[in-house]
Amino acid sequence: MGEHHTLLELLGLNSPKAKYWISIGLFLGTYAMIILERYFHRVPAALLGGALAIFIGLVTPKEAWESIDHNTMFLLVGMMVIVSVLIESGFFSILSNWALKLTKGDPLKILLVFTFLTAFLSAFLDNVTTVLFMVPILLQMLVKLRINPIPYVIATVLASNIGGTATLIGDPPNIIIGSLGHFTFNDFLVNIAPIVIITHIFGTITFVLYMKWRGYLERKITDQEELDRIINSQRAEYDIPLMRKGLIVFGITLLLFFFHHLIGLEPGTVALTMAAVLLLWTKLNPEKVFERVEWGTLMFFVGLFMVIGTLEVTGVFEDLAHFVAGIVKDALSGIWIIGGLSAIISGIVDNIPFTMAMSYVLLDLAQSVHFNVEPLWWALALGACLGGNLTIIGASANVVAAGLVEREGYKITFMDFLKMGTPVAVVTVVVALFLLWLKYLIFGV
Amino acid sequence: MEKTLLVLFRDEIFPEVLSVASDIATKLQLGVKVFASDIPPQELESKLPSGGRFEVIRGGGNFEEILEKENPFLTLLPRPKVSPIVHAFKKPWSEKLVESTDRWNFLLVEQGMGKIKKALLYVDRDKASDTYIRTTYEFLQRWGVEFEFTTVFDERSFELLIKKEHPEQEAKELLGKMFEDYISAVREKIKKALGLKRVEILPLKGEVRKTLPYFAKMHGYDLVVISHAYEDKNELIENSETSVAVFKN
């Protein structure tokens, strides 16, 4: 067998320096394609980036494969399967119908109940899934109540991004941070969840004030009988035995998340195992369940891990970490720098590749500075997740919600979202980073 | 047809069950026996509506023993209204009783449903026996409840396979043909069992245990009638928000 040469070797670009710059070019090119969603689908864009890294010889197939974080992938697949079964059981529809009855058609109550419920669900489910469930029900209800649904939908999406920040499994950036930073489910509960709860209150106050100011909270139907008729006509198509099994497995999964460090299992392993148990127990057709799994998102992660892994192999992150270390003098000031930067960038571009890149920077930073970088990881989580509320393209859930309302004949414009999203994002990011800063100021880094 | 209706309670009396029992008893000319496991007979007697056909069963025993002894045509049980999520973890005793046996006919009366006006009579292609079809048809007719035959075609089990092996349009046509064949087979089965020349069926698509309760609730039916032989009997009962009758096959 003859000796194989990579494309870079054939072109004489095999030096570490050349590889260094080519990997940056590949990363930026992939990133540009992801940003230009109008022209390229982000999934093939990310996959192409990853595949090209192997094709031209920047990394070996083995290096590319090893750069895919198995914990993130297992956690995503496992949770998507469990959530898919819960969706099939009608659990979320029941929760939403319950919310409708609770609000009795009062616009302010609808806003508060839906945003609270969305934030709560988002803490345990992926934001896109939560939005996919809550928005159609909200739309259906508000149309019947003759209320303009757009501000309510935006508020719901904002709440989902805030709520998702609270836990390890609530938002993809947190899954990445948890996995690469080696943080447990409980670490997130202790360090992030209390901050997010307070932040959510401030976020709610902000959008309630905005909606009150714009007159969006006025009743359109004042006849209580008519209201009751509309509300009581809702009924979900549910399956109680399936829901029982789904909730039992979901409960055990959460319990194992709490104690996963004690039993020495990663959250990804727990989620994947429990998903398999649930499929076997329910005897559901796996192919039907897998239809709800977002394979596109998973493939997007595969591609991104490979592209970003290339930067790690060629030493780009090491240099970036040295650069950040030059700016970040200590953990307390770093909270504001990393958090603020993450929020701004996440508001403009997809927060998943950004978080992935920043995680590698923080990993390398930990080697080159003499202070504890843990607060910076939390600042990254808060900034990346909450910053997604800045613009309509800041988070996947925002884009999904815009698509859902369009199907019903409404439109959320870039400006509609900006007017409500930006004040909420600014308030929540500032409050969250302040609370994080205060915590470390009082209790020490 | 046996000559008794049996009403079972535990520690609480549900007036709607008595109301439905009274209605059936009047129409079918049957006596009604009432038993409450946790209420003394004197107290139970004083709580029953006066002038009815009700006779309190005295002496102890559990529900199975009472059923064995009385061998009723139909046993009416209360079905307390609870939220679906609570229901998932707290099953009423009456549902457990219906799940535990297939030897008697049961009518689970939904709380708050004192009068039953519209019913769906479910017949499937493979399990429903001629006896089940005849008994339920005759019962509903004599009771005077407006009812429709219904059947549910569950295409989900073949859908994926067919869609994989055939082009989209062809798969659609194939599924449509399977649906028609299924409905036609059920129609023939009912015609044969009842000796009728013409039978109308309300055809539904989906998973029986989910679709039937949902359709019944959303379209104003008060009762769904199924047979003990239907394999997802327990699941269907749990998913229902209407009264459910379960008959011997």
For every residue of chain B, DSSP letters joined together read --SEEEEEESSS--HHHHHHHHHHHHHHT-EEEEEETTS-HHHHHHHSPTTSSEEEPPS---HHHHHHHH--SEEEEEE----HHHHHH---HHHHHHHH-SSS-EEEEETT-----EEEEE--SSS--HHHHHHHHHHHHHHT-EEEEEEEE-THHHHHHHHHHS-HHHHHHHHHHHHHHHHHHHHHHHHHHHT-S---EEEEES-HHHHHHHHHHHTT--EEEEETTSTTHHHHHHH-SSEEEEE--
pLDDT tier for residue A15 given thresholds of 50, 70 and 90: very high
Largest interatomic CA distance in chain A: 84
State yes or no: pLDDT of B115 exceeds 60: yes
CB contact under 8 A, B156 and A241: no
Q: How many Å lie between the alpha carbon of B55 and the closest alpha carbon of chain A?
A: 36
Collect all residues of chain A within an 8 Å Cβ-Cβ radius of residue B92: none
- CA-to-CA separations, A409 to A65, A124, A403, A405, in angstroms, rounded: 44, 30, 10, 7
Residue-wise pLDDT for A326-371, tens only, equals 888 899 999 999 999 999 988 877 778 788 889 998 998 898 888 9
Residue of A nearest to B208 (CA): A239
pLDDT of residue B2 exceeding 70? no
pLDDT tens digit string along A276-333? 999 999 999 898 899 878 788 889 889 988 998 999 899 888 888 788 878 888 999 9
**Which residue did the predictor score with more confidence, A92 or A253?**
A253
Q: Of A94, A237, A288, which is closest to B214 when you measure between CB atoms?
A: A237
Q: Quick one: which of B129, B111, B145 has its CA closest to B226?
A: B129
- Residue A113 structure tokens: 């109940």
Tell me which chain B residues have a C-beta less than 8 angstroms from the C-beta of A242: 235
Helix, strand, or coil (residue A436): helix
Name the residue among B89, B156, B241 with its Cβ closest to that of A244.
B89
State how far the Cα of A415 lies from the Cα of A102, in Å rounded to an integer: 32
Return d(Cα B160, Cα B145) in angstroms, integer: 39
Q: What is the pTM of this model?
A: 0.82
* Inter-residue contact B63 to B46 (CB < 8 Å): no
The answer to whether the Cα torsion of A377, A380, A382, A388 is positive or negative is: negative
A94/B235 CB distance under 8 A = no
Q: Is residue A3 part of a domain?
A: no
Q: Check pLDDT > 90 for residue A105.
A: no
Query: How many angstroms separate the CA atoms of A386 and A381, rounded?
Result: 8
Residue B53 clears pLDDT 80, i.e. is over it: no
What are phi and psi for residue A329, nearest 5 degrees?
-85, -30
Which residue segments constitute the domains of chain B, with CATH numbers given?
1-115 (3.40.50.620), 116-243 (3.40.50.620)
Answer whether B238 sits within 8 Å of A241, measured CB to CB. Answer: yes
Domain of A439, in residue numbers? 15-224+232-443
A240 contacts on B by Cβ (under 8 Å): 84, 87-88, 235, 238-239
Phi, psi of A165 (to 5 degrees): -70, -20
**Predicted local distance difference test score (pLDDT) of residue B200:** 94
**Residue B72 near residue B104 (C-beta atoms within 8 A):** yes
Average pLDDT over residues B224-237: 95
Average pLDDT over residues B15-36: 93
Of A91, A238, A247, the CB nearest to B239: A238
Closest CA to A85 of A268, A281, A269, A300: A281
Split at pLDDT 50, 70, 90, the class of A2 is low
Question: Is residue A207 in some structural domain?
Answer: yes
DSSP string for residues in A254-278: HHHHHHHHHHT--HHHHHHHHHHHH
Of the listed ranges B42-51, B77-86, B188-197, the one predicted with least confidence:
B42-51
- Residues of A within 8 A of B212 (CB-CB) are none
Give the separation between CA B249 and CA B246, rounded to whole angstroms.
9
273-312 of A, contacting B, C-beta below 8 A: 285, 287-288
Percent of chain A with pLDDT over 90: 52
Using an 8 Å CB-CB cutoff, list chain A residues near B164: none
Pairwise CA distance, residues A284 & B77, whole Å: 32
CA-CA distance, B110 to B35, in Å (whole number)? 18
Instruction: Please report whether residue A74 resides in a domain.
Output: yes
Residue range A109-120: average pLDDT? Answer: 93
Position B58: which residue type?
R
End-to-end CA distance of chain B: 14
Q: Are B4 and B73 in contact (CB under 8 A)?
A: yes
Strand pairing report for B54-56 and B106-110: unpaired
Closest in B83, B156, B210 to A239, CB measured:
B210
Residue B125 clears pLDDT 80, i.e. is over it: yes
Report whether pLDDT(A426) > 90: yes
Q: Is A1 among the domain residues?
A: no
The per-residue b/e assignment along B15-51, b for 16 or more CB within 10 angstroms, e otherwise, is: ebbbbbbbbbbeebebebbbbbeebeeeebeeebeee
> Which strand (E) or helix (H) includes residue A158?
helix A150-164
Answer yes or no: do B235 and A240 touch at CB < 8 A.
yes
Are A244 and B214 within 8 A, CB to CB? no
At A20 the pLDDT is 95
Instruction: Calculate the alpha carbon distances from A427 to A153, A214, A222, B210 in Å.
Output: 19, 19, 34, 45
pLDDT (average), residues A261-269: 85
Local structure of residue A389 (DSSP, 8 states): G
Q: Which residue has tokens 């709520």?
A: A163
For residue B211, list chain A residues with Cβ-Cβ distance below 8 A: 237
* A107 within a domain of the structure (yes/no): yes
Residue A325: predicted pLDDT: 78
pLDDT recorded at residue B1: 46
Residues in A touching B207 (Cβ below 8 Å): 239
Closest to A235 (Cβ–Cβ): which among B88, B89, B217?
B217
Residue B245 and residue B105 in contact, taking contact as beta carbons nearer than 8 Å: yes
Over residues A178-219, the pLDDT tens digits come to 999 999 999 999 999 999 999 999 999 999 999 999 999 987
Contact A244 B88 (CB under 8 A): yes
pLDDT reported for residue A406: 82
Q: Radius of gyration over alpha carbons of chain A, in Å?
A: 23
Q: CA torsion sign, A33 to A37 to A42 to A45?
A: negative
Inside any domain, residue A10: no
Residue A128 has a pLDDT of 77
Tens-digit pLDDT profile for residues A219-253: 777 777 777 777 666 667 889 999 999 999 999 99
CA distances from residue A389 to A161, A311, A428 in whole angstroms, order as listed: 7, 28, 9
User: Residue A287: what pLDDT?
Assistant: 87
Rounded CA separation A168/A257 (Å): 9
Tally the domains of chain A: 1
Taking the CA of residue B176 as centre, how many other CA atoms within 13 Å lie in the half-sphere pointing to its CB?
A: 6
| B203 — pLDDT class (breaks 50, 70, 90) | very high
Q: What is the DSSP letter of A39?
A: T
